[in-house]
Structure 1
Amino acid sequence: MESLQTNDALVTRTHGTDLNDSKVDLVLLHGWGMNSGAFSSFIPYLQDYFRVTTIDLPGFGENAHHLPKPYTVEALANMISAQLPKHCVLAGWSLGGLVAQKIAIDVPQKLAGLITIASTPRFSAGPCWPGIAEDLLTMFEAQLEKNYRKTLERFLAIQAMGSATAKNDIKTIREHVTEYPEPAEEALKRGLGILAKEDLRQIVGRISVPTLRLYGRLDSLVPTAGIDRICELHPQADTVVLPHASHAPFISHPQQTADIVTSFAANLQQQRAS
């Protein structure tokens, strides 16, 4: 079963509404240019243990008409945090992971745990910081003005690059994402700006909630060369690197990713019970 909640704020979808109170609330946030459809094939791997809620980021999917001004990580975090179930585990993929980290910094009392998937406190490359090349982000911004569909297609290709199942990964995400409303052009543009400029490195060490950082070794957008740097900034976090995954491990390796996420949440419950 699936329930849809709408109000003056954001649309949320809860998957698996069997009223089983023993299930852990898990909230999934998607990445740039995507929507919650990206998780459609992953959610079935989670539902035995979790009550899964998906929330489209403002400006995307079913929340395409919600555009905060200014469009910032802080504004996105504020809007998302208002819709979170109590003491949930919040999992953010890529740009969604940046928003999730901001929520964990600002309102830790809302969370039982934080999971970032192929995410980082700063996406763009800089001095002694591996990341997305500035000229690549500039190219995407220029292409976005001409043809956003083609831009998204190229971005999908880069996300799957390196995965042995890259073609199928792209097809899976594309099929599910296109079932949702198209994103607002403003959100696409401002979202790219966030990827290019947002920097949480100075404050990411403040995250106090238990954290799991999950990466793909073949990821070109969040390169493994930067993982040690992130560990230095946030040493309290657990880190797992999937050796054969790229930027979307929950698509290429859904069972392995689900097992890691479930194990993390189970440990949280054990700690709270003891």
Structure 2
Amino acid sequence: MAEISNTDKPVLVLLHGWGVNQGVWHTLLPDIATGRRVLTLDIPGFGLARDTLQPYNFDTVVARLAEQIPDNSLVCGWSLGGLLAIALAERYPARVAQLALVAATPCFLQQAGWPGMKALVMQQFAESLQRNLAQTISRFLAIQAMGSLSAKSDAAALKQAIADYPQASVEALSAGLSFLSSQDLRQSFARLTQPVVGCFGALDSLVPAAVLPALQQLQPKAKFNVLAKASHAPFISHRPDFLAWLLGWLAATDQASA
């Protein structure tokens, strides 16, 4: 867990996605840490979070993350981290003052009237994970950059960002895929009372931008931003645009709490 602290402003908590670790955020820290405390947490079983949860399931993972988050935090979750952030906001409302989603929805699997990943794709990843861990991670990172104008360099940047931390455990990777395929938090998302914002990529193949109208129906006051040429990792492929969105959100929260 990386932490930078020099202020009494609300803490910014950054949660990474599946197959990676807190390292994906670290190149952004010099630009967002000024005057603010930032926590980059590893999801249990990923990166430096090597402690074993018994049992390891969605509930225990959310509970462990909640233990590490101060009250009234600004929680920003990418992909799987966004799914967990939604659960944190509903179950531990004192911890989450505001919620930001990055290429994340309360339901990742395609449903009737709900754009998302096809069940077959999820199944193929789960089967591939058992055969070749490294190859599966590489394929997933490539898919996250797919559609971006700089897809190859984006995938390489993701690999480099996570290389300084331990590989996730097989148990955590397998469970993470299960979370993405089985968790449907749409009703939880609709019940949230915290302000919600989001940043999405128009070219994202994992969380299609077509889901945004449905998200808006669940949270009518939410503010969603779409980066026209970005894919699933906008903070890598479109760093300046992503930072402009993130810093704008932080500035708005500071003004609201002033």
Shorter-chain TM-score tier: over 0.9
1-structure distance, mates of 2:194, 2:82: 14
Match of 1:128 in 2: 113
Match of 2:159 in 1: 174
Taking every aligned residue pair, what percent have the same amino acid on both sides? 38
Name the SS for the 2:204 alignment partner: coil
Name the SS for the 1:175 alignment partner: helix
Q: 1:47 aligns with which of 9, 18, 33?
A: 33
2-structure distance, mates of 1:201, 1:68: 27
2-structure distance, mates of 1:44, 1:251: 15
Q: Are positions 1:148 and 2:133 aligned together? A: yes
Contact 1:117 1:214 in 2 (8 A): yes
Q: Are positions 1:188 and 2:173 aligned together? A: yes
Q: Are positions 1:75 and 2:60 aligned together? A: yes
Match of 2:94 in 1: 109
2-structure distance, mates of 1:95, 1:205: 18
Matched to 2:146, the amino acid is: M
Q: 2:195 aligns with which of 210, 225, 238?
A: 210
Q: CA deviation at 1:216?
A: 0.6
Q: Are positions 1:257 and 2:252 aligned together? A: no
Contact 2:99 2:197 in 1 (8 A): yes
Q: CA deviation at 1:41?
A: 1.8
Matches within 5 A, 1:8-27: 12-14=1-3, 16-17=4-5, 19-21=6-8, 23-27=9-13
Q: 2:50 aligns with which of 40, 58, 64?
A: 64
Match of 2:207 in 1: 222
Match of 2:142 in 1: 157
Residue deviations 1:106-127 (CA, integer Å, cap 9, x gap): 1112122111100000001121
Q: 2:24 aligns with which of 19, 38, 56?
A: 38
Residue deviations 1:70-111 (CA, integer Å, cap 9, x gap): 411x32221111111232211000000000011111111212
Q: CA RMSD in A?
A: 1.4
1-structure distance, mates of 2:151, 2:50: 28
Q: Which runs of 5+ in 2 are unaligned?
A: none
1-structure distance, mates of 2:146, 2:138: 12
Contact 2:53 2:60 in 1 (8 A): no
Contact 1:24 1:49 in 2 (8 A): no
Matched to 1:104, the amino acid is: A
Match of 1:6 in 2: none
Q: Are positions 1:95 and 2:84 aligned together? A: no
Q: CA deviation at 1:169?
A: 1.0
Contact 1:219 1:246 in 2 (8 A): yes
2-structure distance, mates of 1:234, 1:163: 28
